[in-house]
Amino acid sequence: MLDVPSPTVVGQEVELTCSFDLNGDTLYSVKWYKDDVEFYRFVPNDWPPGQFLPLSGVRVDLSKSKEQSVYIRTVALETAGVYKCEVSTEAPVFDTVSAKKEMNVYVLPTEGPKITGRHMKYRVGDTVTVNCTSAKSKPAASLAWYINDKKVGADYETVYSTILHDDGLEVSCLSLRFLITSDHFTNGNMRLKCEASIPRVRYTMSDEALVISEQLQHVSGLQIRENLIRDTAAIVATPVRWIHRLLSLLSLVYSLLFVRI
């Protein structure tokens, strides 16, 4: 029984396990192959019993590898491939059995996706056209758009593409295009979110953009001006009231003096 962790992520250490039952026979060797090229063997009668045969993309940790398992350090893109475990018994039987399994290697994005092409303000009736681009990874990240935390439906036009780079990594691009209605704004705001994910390794990152209703900003500006005029009038009115009070007091004092005379 062969166990090859897949997918695995670049930089990790993985253990490949080859479980077997000899049914009373004596083990001669356990040999490991990647894409039919041998890179490790365990022969109990040799010294040392575990031996590594150099192979590009495969770095064996001999201190941890043993009869039924082999450890690979610092997984790289080149580590991906088809692995085979081959078990042989001693004479007089000389039985040999083997099993194969594929290992896929993933490279996770080093940062989240980026939203481009948006404006800070929109009016009802405007058309929004924005783009989302993921960071490089392998495989390419899956992208999804959300408006106010609600995933967009089929009625929004989206165009999906994948770009392959020379280093073997991929970038995903997803555009979003829709006509703004009043329902898209909540308290004058609308939130756009692009989410990038690689489900098999539970990777998720996102980028968000906040846009503002231009109409609400116009109304708010009028309200600010009205409040400013009202507050200014109140400030001006305050000293006028004090002047009236002072004049009344002076009139009262004059009257008292005149009466005494």
Look at residue 81 in the predicted model and tell me its pLDDT: 97
pLDDT of residue 207: 93
Distances (CA, A) of 41 to 22, 70, 84: 17, 9, 12
The pLDDT value given to residue 219? 41
pLDDT attached to residue 104? 96
- Per-residue pLDDT, 63: 93
Give the pLDDT means over successive 10-residue stretches in the chain (261 positions).
95 95 91 97 93 94 94 95 96 88 95 94 94 95 94 84 90 94 92 94 92 63 49 51 59 52 43
**Per-residue pLDDT at 4:** 96
Handedness of CA 29, 30, 34, 36 (dihedral sign): positive
Query: How far is residue 88's CA from residue 56's CA, in Å, rounded to a whole number?
Result: 25
Contact 55, 85 (CB under 8 A): no
**What backbone torsions phi and psi does residue 234 show, to the nearest 5 degrees?**
-65, -40
pLDDT value, residue 257: 54
Write down the pTM of the prediction. 0.71
State the CB neighbour count (10 A cutoff) for residue 154.
6
| The pLDDT of residue 92 | 81
The confidence score (pLDDT) of residue 24 equals 85
